[in-house]
Amino acid sequence: MKDAAPRAIRLSEYQNPAFLVQDVSLTFRLDPHATRVFSRISFRRNPEGPGGPLRLDGEGLRLIRAAIDGTEVQPKILPAGLEIDAPDAFTWEAEVQIDPKANTALEGLYMSNGMYCTQCEAEGFRKITYYPDRPDVMAPFEVRIESELPVLLSNGDPVERGDGYAVWRDPWKKPAYLFALVAGDLVAHSNGFTTMEGREVALNIWVRPGDEDRCAYAMDSLKRSMRWDEDAYGRAYDLDVFNIVAVDDFNMGAMENKGLNIFNARYVLASPETATDADYARIEAIVAHEYFHNWTGNRITCRDWFQLCLKEGLTVFRDQTFSGDERSHAVKRIEDVQMLRARQFREDAGPLAHPVRPTSYIEINNFYTATVYEKGAEIIGMLRRLIGEDAYREGCDLYFDRHDGQACTIEDWLKVFEDATGRDLAQFARWYAQAGTPRVTAETRIEGGTLILDLAQSLPATPGQPEKAPQVIPLAIGAIARDGTEVLPTAVVELTETAQTFRFEVGTDDAVASINRGFSAPVILDQTLSAADRALLLAHDTDPFNKWEAGRALARTALVDMIVQSGAPDRHFVDALGPVISDNAQDPAFRALALALPSDDDLAQALTDSNATPDPDAIDAARTRMQTAVATAHEGALDAVYDAMKVSGPYNPDATDAGRRALRNAALSLLTHVDGGDRARAQFAAADNMTDCLAALSALIRTGQAETELQAFHDRWQNDRLVMDKWFALQIAGAPGETGLAVAQRLVEHPAFDWKNPNRFRSVIGALGMNHASFHARSGGGYALVADWLIRLDPLNPQTTARMTTLFETWHRYDVDRQDQAKAALRRIQSTEGLSRDTSEMVSRILG
């Protein structure tokens, strides 16, 4: 058991560091169970610090020896570090011993498949040696690695390589959370890049032997990211080497360690046979994200972990813009909003709601959330919209100029835009402070050719925040006349009061307002529109996001009606999909998105919003009936699209081909409801790429008739970890009705269920959580199975366990029986002897 009563850390209690670090020199003598870490650190008292003794963080370290200015000392060992009186300037030396092989938490120095690697964000460095492990202490690092392994890597540029050792030096000051070390039997996929400043950079992607032919796309994404950051933000890379390493055991997606990014292998490795179009797109986005951190995160970092969104929100915004530039802004925006709603709106509507900049935490690892990342990115998008692209770029230039080499706050970030534009951003700053998704109600009428828009905003109470103040909400508005012509091109209004009225000349009395175009603000919009109005927008809105949104609202309303009134599928909605299927003038990727129905979880939230209690079986049944109705009504057109969208030639992951495959597979998924699975079976047999293979397989899984194909897939891919993750996940997440529960119960017994590997754990237990009807099975068996496995994983890997408790964050939506079952499962986790601080914080917040 860790600390008996874990203490909350508060933003309001921030204090400057007592000591600053001028230089760090580390030597690692690697050994699986007894690695020795020698540190030599020059400290200087911070004139702006609080005074007092030297306190260093340390966890699970065996201190062998410590010295100050060469004289051996006996520091006082504390539960989470050490303390010793120290002069104003001195050299600290320490030798500690650690056990990487026993490190199952995957934080600090650990081993994955025979290779040594590190993960230090947020507070992993303290598991490597004693150090002021906080982001506002920045220093240059020199690292010597001693090991017989062939590849020895750390941050910065290589200095020296000899028999059994390597030395690296990172000249850029950095906080300890950006430290990294890798040692292993690895091979590189290499390339090069010349920066706009003329620097020749060696690029390497390090993988296990055999994986080197799956790195080309990640490398290509890296080079495009490097060029993009130069063009879009004027930022060039600043070392002679950039290394990426793929590891099999990783808690998160990837990590932006200076000059040595470490990736979950699933976000690096791709080949047409093993990765889907979606995998390729994610690899591109994550490679870009980690690369972009070099400026937004590394050169300018966070003062403390409350400011996490300073680097994460901004970097997500940058990677989203990059992906939009590389592919399609319209499609990317729709995908991003779908994700935002599925994860962030869900979080904001439940017991885990917190501000983008939280004000207290018990375990910081629990705050790497959709709110910090995705809502954090939305705030930057709103800021850019409010001040304009040129002023945004000016403000960013000022940010990099003014704060390079510093550890900053949200106040620093907003100040550069105030200085660049003269605009007061005090009210805008509430987006960082207030949790919850704003609701905007819009009432529109037209009088004498004037569109009158009555807007009102409200923000629900969230944990710890009963009262809210109005925020600045930028809403992009347009209008479409009944004949389909646009009578109001996009204009942005700023809603700053609780209620406000806006007027626009539209020159007609029959038009429909298109509000929140491009999803200009992350709000829930209540706008009363008839099905006919929505169909008009779906057919004619010039804003691609709102065009999609109109179809989505039609689908949601139709499905909610079916569920609540056990009615038949709405003909208006079914008919409105006709042109979406057949209009070849429209982007196939867009049409694929418009054909997809809202997820079960979306519908559960929609029902909750309309004060109904979601019944998971009824939701699942309604979706299936709707899909069958669409397929029956449009079978001919779907069949034509299915043939027309066939991609010929070698597989290419670019947006054009991926869009065609997406539309074709959306058609396949619908057609499988009426053709008995014939097309899907044929496609599965013929597929030469994972996108088409998996789409066919998932369509068959939904019919409950995929046994042969699942076996064939297993036999072909049983030795490929990443592909087997898909095999596990798909048959659980995609199973119809409650049947995913039985599949999960069977697969936890499968010999290949290597539950200590986070990817595999997520592909089984996480996949059950993604199957709405199965996780929420009336028996409570879904909750119980997930709880059993979380209890089992927690002592080994608290971070991944704690993240996965969020599967339960919506328990309050459901009926009393389900609530009781979910609460019983949560209480069982909570009362587990020795439960980690991570999981215990999450479970008690979820229980409320």
Q: Would you say 119 or 698 has its CB closer to ligand PHE?
A: 119
Is there binding between residue 699 and ligand PHE (CB under 6 A)?
no
Query: Which of 45, 289, 673, 803 touches ligand PHE (CB under 6 A)?
Result: 289
Number of helical (H) and strand (E) elements in the chain, helices listed first? 30, 31
Which of ligand PHE, Zn ion, none has residue 664 at its interface (CB below 5 to 8 Å by kind)? Answer: none
CA-closest candidate to residue 743, choices 692, 777, 791, 713: 777
Taking alpha carbons only, the member of 172, 175, 131 closest to residue 41 is: 131
DSSP-derived 3-state class of residue 294: coil
254 binds ligand PHE (CB under 6 A): yes
73 vs 364 by CB, closer to Zn ion: 364
d(CA 296, CA 305): 15
Applying CB under 6 A, which part among 22-30, 119-127, 136-144, 656-664 lies near ligand PHE?
119-127
Q: Is 71 exposed, middle or buried (0-12, 13-18, 19+ CB in 10 A)?
A: exposed
Catalytic residue among 290, 326, 363, 738: 290
| Alpha-carbon span 505 to 487, nearest angstrom | 9
CB of 294 to Zn ion, least distance (A): 11
Cα torsion 41, 46, 51, 57: sign: negative
Looking at 95-103, 180-188, 313-321, 344-352, which segment touches Zn ion (CB under 5 A)?
313-321
645: partner contacted, choices Zn ion, ligand PHE, none (Cβ within 5-8 A by kind): none
Smallest distance, ligand PHE to C-beta of residue 315, A: 7
802 is a contact residue toward ligand PHE (CB under 6 A) = no
Helix (H, G, I), strand (E, B) or coil at 317: helix
Residue with smaller CB distance to ligand PHE, 20 or 255:
255
How many whole angstroms separate alpha carbon 695 and alpha carbon 276?
9
| Helices 600-609 & 544-565 angle (0-180, nearest 10) | 70
Binding region for Zn ion (CB under 5 A) out of 305-313, 361-369, 493-501, 572-580: 305-313
Minimum CB separation from Zn ion for residue 315, in Å? 5
> For ligand PHE, which is the closer residue by CB, 176 or 473?
176
Amino acid at 493: V
Q: Toward ligand PHE, which CB reaches closer, 105 or 730?
A: 105
Catalytic residue check, 738? no
Sign of the torsion angle spanned by Cα atoms 325, 326, 332, 336: negative
Q: Using N-to-C axis directions, what is the helix angle for 571-582 and 616-633, rounded to 10°?
A: 50
**Considering CB distances under 5 to 8 angstroms, the limit depending on partner class, which of Zn ion, ligand PHE, none binds residue 238?**
none
Q: Which residue has the tokens 């008739």?
A: 705
Q: Name the helix (H) or strand (E) containing 454.
A: strand 450-458
What is the CB neighbour count within 10 angstroms for residue 253?
14
| Interatomic CA distance for residues 367 and 357, integer angstroms | 10
Rg (CA), the chain: 27
The option from ligand PHE, Zn ion, none interacting with 620 (CB < 5 to 8 A, set by class) reads none
Q: How far is the CB of 251 from ligand PHE (least distance, A)?
A: 6
Q: Which residue is nearest to ligand PHE (CB)?
A: 252
Of 315 and 516, the one with the shorter C-beta distance to Zn ion is 315
The reply to whether omega before 122 is within 30° of 0 (cis) is yes
Among the listed ranges 10-18, 312-320, 439-447, 685-693, the one in contact with Zn ion (CB under 5 A) is 312-320
Residue 423 CB-half CA count within 13 A: 18
Residue of 57, 59, 93, 121 interacting with ligand PHE (CB under 6 A): 121
* Shortest distance, position 268 Cβ to Zn ion, whole Å: 16
Q: How far is the CB of 110 from ligand PHE (least distance, A)?
A: 13
Contact between 252 and ligand PHE by CB under 6 A: the answer reads: yes
User: Site map for Zn ion, 314-333, x if CB under 5 A?
Assistant: -x------------------
**Spatial distance between the Cα atoms of 759 and 769, rounded to a whole number of angstroms:** 14
Instruction: Please state the closest distance from residue 369 (CB atom) to Zn ion, in A.
Output: 12
* Cα distances (angstroms) measured from residue 326 to each of 224, 329, 653: 9, 9, 12
Q: Using alpha carbons, list the distances in angstroms from residue 421 to 418, 426, 497.
A: 5, 14, 22
Comparing CB distances to ligand PHE, the nearer of 330 and 802 is 802
Instruction: Determine the interface stretch with Zn ion among 260-268, 311-319, 745-753, 815-823 (rule: CB under 5 A).
Output: 311-319
Residue with tokens 């300073």: 310
Q: Is 566 exposed, middle or buried (0-12, 13-18, 19+ CB in 10 A)?
A: exposed
Beta bridge partners of 92: 41, 68
- Provide the minimum distance between the beta carbon of 467 and Zn ion in the complex, in angstroms, as a whole number: 32
Query: Taking the CA of residue 396 as centre, how many other CA atoms within 13 Å lie in the half-sphere pointing to its CB?
Result: 23
Q: Does residue 312 interact with ligand PHE by CB under 6 A?
A: yes
Nearest to 767 by CA among 800, 740, 789, 806: 740
* Interacting span for ligand PHE (CB under 6 A) from 4-12, 96-104, 249-257, 508-516: 249-257
Backbone angles phi, psi at 525, to 5 degrees: -100, 125
Residue 658: CB minimum distance to ligand PHE, A = 24
**Residue located via tokens 């791709």:** 270
Please choose, out of 137-145, 250-258, 572-580, 670-678, the segment that lies near ligand PHE by the rule CB under 6 A: 250-258
Candidate list 368, 502, 753, 755; residue touching ligand PHE; CB under 6 A: 368
Q: Which does 254 bind (CB under 5 to 8 A by kind): ligand PHE, Zn ion, none?
A: ligand PHE
The listed partner (Zn ion, ligand PHE, none) that binds 255, CB under 5 to 8 Å by sort, is ligand PHE
| Helix runs in 443-530, H state only | none
Residue (731 or 806) nearer to ligand PHE, CB? 806
- Contacts with ligand PHE by CB under 6 A: the residue count is 11
Q: How far is the CB of 177 from ligand PHE (least distance, A)?
A: 8
Q: Does 319 bind ligand PHE (CB under 6 A)?
A: no
Nearer to ligand PHE by Cβ, of 165 and 368: the residue is 368
| Whole-Å CA distances, 396 to 29, 232, 790 | 42, 11, 42
Which secondary structure element, helix H or strand E, spans residue 702, and what is its range?
Answer: helix 690-703
Q: How far is the CB of 368 from Zn ion (least distance, A)?
A: 9
Q: Does 249 participate in binding ligand PHE (rule CB under 6 A)?
A: no
Residue 310 binds ligand PHE (CB under 6 A) = no
Please say whether the beta carbons of 130 and 58 come within 8 A. Answer: yes
How many residues form the binding site for Zn ion (CB under 5 A)?
2
Measured from the CB atom, the residue of 173 and 289 that comes closer to ligand PHE is 289
Distances (CA, A) of 210 to 185, 269, 381, 779: 11, 11, 41, 45
Q: Could you give the count of Cα atoms lying within 13 Å of 555 in the half-sphere of its Cβ? A: 26
At 836, list the tokens.
Answer: 């980690």
Tokens describing residue 739: 């049947």
Which one, 119 or 434, has the nearer CB to ligand PHE? 119
> Comparing C-alpha atoms, which of 804, 819, 814, 104 is closest to residue 829?
804
When asked if residue 290 is in the footprint of ligand PHE (CB under 6 A), the reply is yes
- Interface residue with ligand PHE among 256, 279, 363, 570 (CB under 6 A) is 256
Q: Which does 121 bind (CB under 5 to 8 A by kind): Zn ion, ligand PHE, none?
A: ligand PHE
Q: Residue 682's CB: how many other CB atoms inside 10 A?
A: 11
Distance in Å, CB of 757 to ligand PHE, minimum: 16
Instruction: Please say which residue, 217 or 291, places its beta carbon nearer to ligand PHE.
Output: 291
Residues that bind ligand PHE (CB under 6 A): 119, 121-122, 252, 254-256, 289-290, 312, 368
Residues that bind Zn ion (CB under 5 A): 312, 315
Active site residues: 290
